[in-house]
Amino acid sequence: MSETDPFQLFADWFAEARESEPNDPDAMALATSTPDGRPSVRMVLLKGHGPEGFTFYTNLDSRKGAEIAANARAALLFHWKTLRRQVRIEGPVAPVRDAEADAYFDTRSRDSQLGAWASWQSRPLDARATFEKRYEEMVRRFEGGTVPRPPRWSGFRVTPELLEFWSDRPHRLHERRVFTGTNGGWQEGLLYP
């Protein structure tokens, strides 16, 4: 593989970001939309990447989960300010296998696992104390045992059809390399900045 392989190029850039970014080099903006095209965007954390796609985890009943269920396409954006680079990704979204979600959930801290049970993500909350009470209820419920993955918590994988690698250049003469999926391969090109 070379830098004409978009997945290797991403892996190289991501490794550099992990060395240089002071906070959350795995943070990515995730854009979804309703079936009628109403967009929404939020930050999530990348939990896996490779030729199979880019993986993140969430509550399936969250706004993003509901939007993906209704319109299984998304866009991702990584912005690594210290490197003066960004990567855009677009493509269809599919759920990860249960075994994969279970394996990732097992790596989370116990407090994060309990938080996944306590949170009704994206639903209205009357007071912070209500959430804290639900969290304490989960602490008691799972005391002394393992915390299983909640049934409405899992992961999604964005399978890229397009990857764009943007590099800052002086005088706004930036470099934009774009990879577009073809039948089993990638076509590389450039875009005007």
CATH at 51: 2.30.110.10
Is the per-residue pLDDT at 114 higher than 60?
Answer: yes
For 67, half-sphere exposure in the C-beta direction (CA atoms, 13 angstrom radius) is 20
Residue 85 within any structural domain of the chain: yes
Residue 125 within any structural domain of the chain: no
Domain boundaries, position 78: 6-105+151-191
Residue 111 within any structural domain of the chain: no
Residue 179's pLDDT band, with cuts at 50, 70 and 90, is very high
Given the residues 42, 128, 134, 172, the one annotated as active site? 172
Residue 169 within any structural domain of the chain: yes
The pLDDT value recorded for residue 8 is 96
Reply yes or no on whether 177 is catalytic. no
Q: What is the pTM of this model?
A: 0.93
Domain count within the chain: 1
The Cα 127–Cα 139 span in angstroms is 19
Residue 117 within any structural domain of the chain: no
Residue 126 within any structural domain of the chain: no
Is the per-residue pLDDT at 19 higher than 50?
Answer: yes
